[in-house]
Amino acid sequence: MSFNRNILLVLSIFITIPAVYKVSASSGSIELDEISFDKIINTFSASLVKFDVAFPYGDKHDAFVAIAKEAKDVKELVIAEVGVKDYGEKENSQLANKYGATKETFPVVKLFLKGQNEPITFDDSQGFTTDQLRRFVRQNTGIYLSLPGCVRELDMLAIEFMKANKDKRNDVLKKTEDALKVLDSESKNTGKIYKTIMDKVLSKGDDFVKTENDRVKKVMSGKLSDEKKLDMAQRLNILQSFQLHEIQYKDEL
């Protein structure tokens, strides 16, 4: 059986104390308990942890499993689960209570960042989906996870553009135009949004990104067709790529 680098690292940590943690074969996430929790959380730059019932199922669990599988090669990020039992010895119940996760609120997802005392709670008011979990991780860590509508090469150029001095941004714009020429037709359609945003930033300033982000969110809160919602969601994803430079960026994929 082959293990990815994350799991090998975890194995090296626990080689002298076997059987205190388990890797879920179905999801690729690490199953944590009160013994292994701190050691794992303190090892990785970022840890996305779901507190849930011991044997979870349903759409929310499926969304979490999907991001665990997608992030399997991102060495700075670990995806983990804490299964809580409300019967017998009530395994992991104290650990869950410590972070404000209860049976009434399951599933609860927390993002633990190395060196920070308090985790960040995932707000599922916009939906408990894989896309929302990706956005949550990207927004709070700068770790690259691709979002629908985004093109990896153009995401890199968006970051480069925002970090560049104003007199160098036209050079990045030119590279973006060149990149668009070789994209397939599907990627080219959303790829044009990157160029549009760069043009607007050049003419209106960096504040355009936040202003446009707020505008798109307001539009999405209204009544839209499914097609328009998809277009706006993709635009929002691309706009986030223009904000990743504000976070310490980690190119891990």
Domain CATH code at residue 227: 1.20.1150.12
Say what the pLDDT of residue 23 is: 56
- Give me the domain span that covers residue 215: 152-244
Pair of tokens at residue 25: 């074969």
Are 207 and 107 part of one and the same domain? no
- What was the pLDDT predicted at 27? 60
Same domain, 132 and 174: no
86-121 confidence digits (pLDDT tens): 888 889 999 999 999 999 999 999 999 998 989 999
Which of 106, 141, 176 marks a domain boundary? 141
Nearest alpha carbon to residue 192 among 163, 151, 224: 151
What are the residues whose beta carbons fall under 8 Å from the beta carbon of 229, sequence distance 6 or more? 220
117 and 91 in one domain?
Answer: yes
Confidence (pLDDT) at 251: 42
- In this structure, the answer to whether residues 120 and 167 fall within a common structural domain is no
Find all residues with CB under 8 Å of 25, minimum gap 6, and list them. none
Domain membership of residue 129 (yes or no) is: yes
Establish if 41 belongs to a structural domain. yes
**Does residue 107 have a cis bond before it (omega within 30 degrees)?**
yes
CATH number, residue 52: 3.40.30.10
Query: Could you report how far apart the first and last alpha carbons of the chain are, in Å?
Result: 23
Sites in the chain below the pLDDT cut of 50: 1-3, 7, 9-20, 25, 248-253
* Same-domain status, 184 and 133: no
Spatial distance between the Cα atoms of 175 and 173, rounded to a whole number of angstroms: 5
**HSE of 193, CA atoms in CB hemisphere, 13 A:** 22
What pLDDT was estimated at residue 109? 98
Q: Is residue 224 part of a domain?
A: yes
Whether residues 134 and 161 share a domain: the answer is no
Residue 80 counted as domain residue: yes
Q: Evaluate whether residue 117 is within a structural domain.
A: yes
Residue 169 covered by a domain = yes
Q: Are 143 and 250 in contact (CB under 8 A)?
A: yes
123 contact partners, CB below 8 Å, separation of at least 6 = 136
Last residue of a domain, one of 108, 141, 174: 141
Same-domain check for residues 36 and 134: yes
**Number of domains comprising the chain:** 2
CA neighbor of 106 nearest in space, from 86, 135, 131? 86
pTM of the prediction? 0.70
| Residue 20 half-sphere exposure toward CB, CA atoms < 13 A | 16
Q: Residue 204 falls within a domain, yes or no?
A: yes
Domain boundary among 75, 109, 141: 141
CB 242 within 8 A of CB 161: yes
Do 162 and 220 lie in one domain? The reply is yes
Is 182 inside any structural domain? Answer: yes
